[in-house]
Amino acid sequence: MEFIEVLAPMAGITDGTFCRDISTLGFDMVTLGGYNADQSTLNAGQEILARGRPEFDLKPGDLLPYLEEQSFLLKCQDLWDGMVSVNLRALTTDPIIEVSRLKNVDVVEINAHCRQPEITQLGCGQALMENPSHLEKFTREVVKKAKSKVSVKIRANVPDVDEIKTVSAIDHAGADYLHLDAMKPGFNSADYDMVKLIRQETSMFIIGNNSIRDIGSARKMLAAGADGISIARAAIGGTLSFDLSQI
């Protein structure tokens, strides 16, 4: 696969309209969501909203028609023919597999990254990293039944989590993309050493994420071994202060 540039998910922000307006800046893939895809995570989403965090507010049963609409906004463009990914939180695999069957969805992304307590208490999001055998089984099931490609988004440097075991579980399960938030707590830059370490352990396609805000930080991520990069906060205003084509 060739190097790709990805718009990372931002809950409550990266809907179809936001992604469509920014897509033509040079993104090869944009990520809708993250969305809560079952009743338990939807309930958690309500609690997260109530304490003022951004979140998409959907009712049970509304997700599939909503995503059909949002992904169509991206695919009906003449100016952009990139991939549409959807970042999802769910306790079971079925809701994720259903999304993978939507015509305009190219990638479903299992969110093993969310650290909001309402989500992790359910055993979802980042809590998936605490149990590599469950994560492997979960991912394998999605890979087996999905009609789209499968990405798994994880975060580096989570206390009591062995990244290598996590990555190896995702690799064994056959995921197409490892979306790695190489967060380095207390630093304003990514943990490039962690990216290097993970690169040595897997031949999976790594989308390197965290603190990419200019050409230099993007190039450092690639030099550390990522195959592609993703950007969230530097794109939160709907534009970028640098030219993706210069990376």
Counting contacts by CB under 6 A, is residue 212 touching ligand FMN?
Answer: yes
Of 56 and 80, CB closest to ligand FMN: 56
Counting contacts by CB under 6 A, is residue 113 touching ligand FMN?
Answer: yes
Q: Which two tokens stand for residue 239?
A: 């534009």
Per-residue DSSP letter, 247: -
Counting contacts by CB under 6 A, is residue 45 touching ligand FMN?
Answer: no
Of 70 and 87, CB closest to ligand FMN: 87
Q: Which two tokens stand for residue 29?
A: 């893939």
DSSP SS3 for 17:
helix
Question: Beta partners for 88?
Answer: 35, 110
Segment near ligand FMN (CB under 6 A); pick from 10-18, 20-28, 59-67, 197-205: 10-18
Of 76 and 233, CB closest to ligand FMN: 233
C-alpha closest to that of 221 among 2, 19, 5, 14: 5
Q: Which two tokens stand for residue 233?
A: 């906060």
Could you identify the residue written with the tokens 């003022």? 52
Pairing of strands 4-7, 228-231: parallel
* Sole binder of ligand FMN in the list 20, 140, 149, 153 (CB under 6 A): 153
Of 71 and 111, CB closest to ligand FMN: 111
C-alpha closest to that of 19 among 228, 180, 230, 238: 238
Of 71 and 87, CB closest to ligand FMN: 87
Counting contacts by CB under 6 A, is residue 11 touching ligand FMN?
Answer: yes
Q: Which residues bind ligand FMN (CB under 6 A)?
A: 8-11, 13, 33-34, 54, 87, 111, 113-114, 153, 181, 209-212, 231-234
